[in-house]
Each structure stands twice: as structure tokens, then as C-alpha cells.
Structure 1
Amino acid sequence: MKRILDLLLVLVALPFWLPLFILLWLTVRIKLGSPAFFRQKRAGKDGKSFEIIKFRTMRDLRDSDHKLLPDEARLTPFGKRLRSLSLDELPELFNVLCGDMSLVGPRPLPVVYLDRYSTEQARRHECRPGITGWAQVNGRNQVDWDERFQMDVWYVDHAGLLLDLKILWKTVSTVFSREGISAENTVTMHEFTGPGTSTGGRSLNSVPPQSPDPSHKTE
């Protein structure tokens, strides 16, 4: 039923979100150049990897050593507006159509995090990740990682049609109020380094110290 509801809602709303998608794609190309999309490997159901698609909100600015500059230097005013209205998430509807994501579920995180979860935290992968979720309507990026994962696991244990509809309804209010867009002292969300991680630490857009691979950055 959950999969059917996802497809039904996305396809019924297609005449409304597709023109907006095309308009935003053109605008991102003009303001930020090519590519218009940010793509990254994320962990889906059962930890299976898939490629998430979002609108790009940052410039690919690097220092003399070719390392990415801090998020604050790369995030443009236009990108901030996209984030504040969650419009950068619109391409994820194609992830929903492909079956990699659901409209509602724990947010998909980088695959590099898979080895960092506790056994209980890893249970967040027992269902498809979502564009929005219980944690997103209860603090969004201002909630620390441990509490966020507790809410993700709570959702896994209580998932159902009525709860999903409640989350979708609350998502509209959260988006328009623009609450919890950024964690403290960063324009995005800090990196998760393991159980007990607070809102402190490196930003998700930073490259993890154990890997020089820039694909680990997260918009």
C-alpha cells in the first residue's frame, strides 16, 4: 500500500510539479552552470546503495590545493532560497518513481556512514528512505544525530498510512515556516562520526578525513 500511495501521489501531482521542475532546472543552469543536479551515492533500504538526485545549490569552488572551500563560501543566495523552500529536493521524486525512495521515511544518508551506526541506529534502513520523515517534521537539521536516529527507528516501528499522511501534512507547515534548515554553526548539517555525535563536528559538505574523495560531500 505504501508503494502504491507513493506512485499515486507523485503521478497525480505530475502536472503541478513537472513544470516547476523544468523551470528550476533552467534557472539552476543559468545561475550555477552545468551540471544542474547534485548526485551522490546514498544508503537505501537494507543499506543498498543508490544515487540520489537533487538540484545543485553550491558552486564548485576550490582553494589552491584543489580542496573544496567551506559550505558558507560555496552556497549561493539562490541556493539558500532553494534550500529554505526545500525545492532542491524536487528531483528526488524521480528516485521515488524508480523505487529507491518513498515520499515518507528516514532521510537517506551517505553510504560512508553505514559502518558508523550502532545496531539500533542501523534499523533505520529497514524501510525505504524518504523525501520527508518523522525527524524532518520534528526538528529537521537542528536535532542532533542520536535523537534523529531514535526518531527514524521509532518511525520504522510505527509506520502506517495515517502516520505517513500526518508527516506529509506537517511537512507543508515545516517548509513554509522554514524551520530547522541548518544545524548550529553550519549552513547544512554536521557530519555523523558515530554514536554519541552531537551537532558539533565537521559539516556534511566536508570531505571525511579518512578519504580524499570529493564525492563524499553532501548538499
Structure 2
Amino acid sequence: MARFPDLLHRALFTSFSLLGRRSQGAVLRRYFDWWHRRPDPWRLSSDTYEQHKYQTTLGQLPDAAYPRVLEAGCSEGVFTELLATAYPDAEITGVDISEKALERARLRNGKFAGRVRFVHADILDHDFRGGFDLVICAETLYYLGGGDRLRHASHRLASLLAAGGLLVLVHPWPEAQRLHRFADAAPGLSKIGERVEHHVHRPFSVSLYRARP
């Protein structure tokens, strides 16, 4: 069951989703810039739960090269750094709606300059060129509310994949069943795996989808 603070959190962002898409995006930019007024507000770089989630996600990825990678909602680039280390030949794009977060992401990943870049954008509206071999979206979809916004986000993420590319969604369980339902039903995707970590204080799911040729 979701914890009460999480339920309040979700209710807040569901109310934001009643705004038009541009207005919702503007509110989210201000919200996340406010959160990132201080470094690492969610302790992504130090919390043992977050580190476990990152390692679990990496451990679920099929053994492959992944030349082009996109991380949607990269925050301060903590997981981006792990990706860049795990896949030293990959070109990685991190996307986030908070410029304050991205300033720290660029500093953290400066050693990977030339193959890791960060883009300040709303993934729903930015005109990205597709063809990514790996797209990862973690702890992000619940900020969009539900219904049409969630459907659009799921289809948008799928559209960024190259033929045979891998989409990875990581969200709290059992809420992931709702958040991932449009990816589950997308005609261009095949679900190839799911791991649910039940035995942690905040259970989560790692779901994997392959883009059909």
C-alpha cells in the first residue's frame, strides 16, 4: 500500500494535471527548481534504498551495447553517472525539467564530457530525434497525473526508441501497475520482463519493454 505522504504527493500532482499542458509544465519547472535550491534534496547519491534501486535497474538490463541512451527525468545525474560507467561506449542524453538540477548533473558528469550531455526540456514536448537504443524513465510518470497525460507520455517515450530498442520504467509498486498500463498495451512494444522488489520499505517495479521491428 502507498504511504500517506505519497498519497498526498500524488493528489497534489493530479491537481496540476488539470491545467493545460504548458501551464502544468511551467508549474513543474518552478516546483523542481525550488526543490533543487539545495543539492541532492532526495539524497539520491547517498541513500541506500536509492542505490539499491539503481543497481537493481542496471541488473535487469539485457547484456547489450546500447550506443544511444536517453534518461528521462535525470535530476542531478546520479544514475546518469552509473550508466556512463557501465556503458563506456554509449552516448547518453539526460533530460530534466529543472535547470538547477541539470547544473549539478553537468558538474557531476564532467569527466564524461563529449559523450554525456544534458538537455533542459519537457520530454512531452521537446522535438527529440528518436532512434535511442535504451530509454529509461524512473520515478517520473506519477508527476503527470493520469489519463490522457499518462497515455501521451508513454507513447512519447516509446516513439523515441530505435527498432528493437529497450524502454525501462521504474516506479513504486503497486502504483506501477497504473503508471505502466499504457506501455503494457502499446502496440509497438512487447513487455519482456518485470522485477518487483517487495522486501524494501518502498516496493518498486522495474519493467522492460522491447520496441518491435
> Shared fold (TM-score greater than 0.5)?
no
Calculate the TM-score normalised by the size of structure 2.
0.30
Looking at secondary structure, tell me which structure has more helix per residue: 1
Give the structure with the larger strand fraction.
2
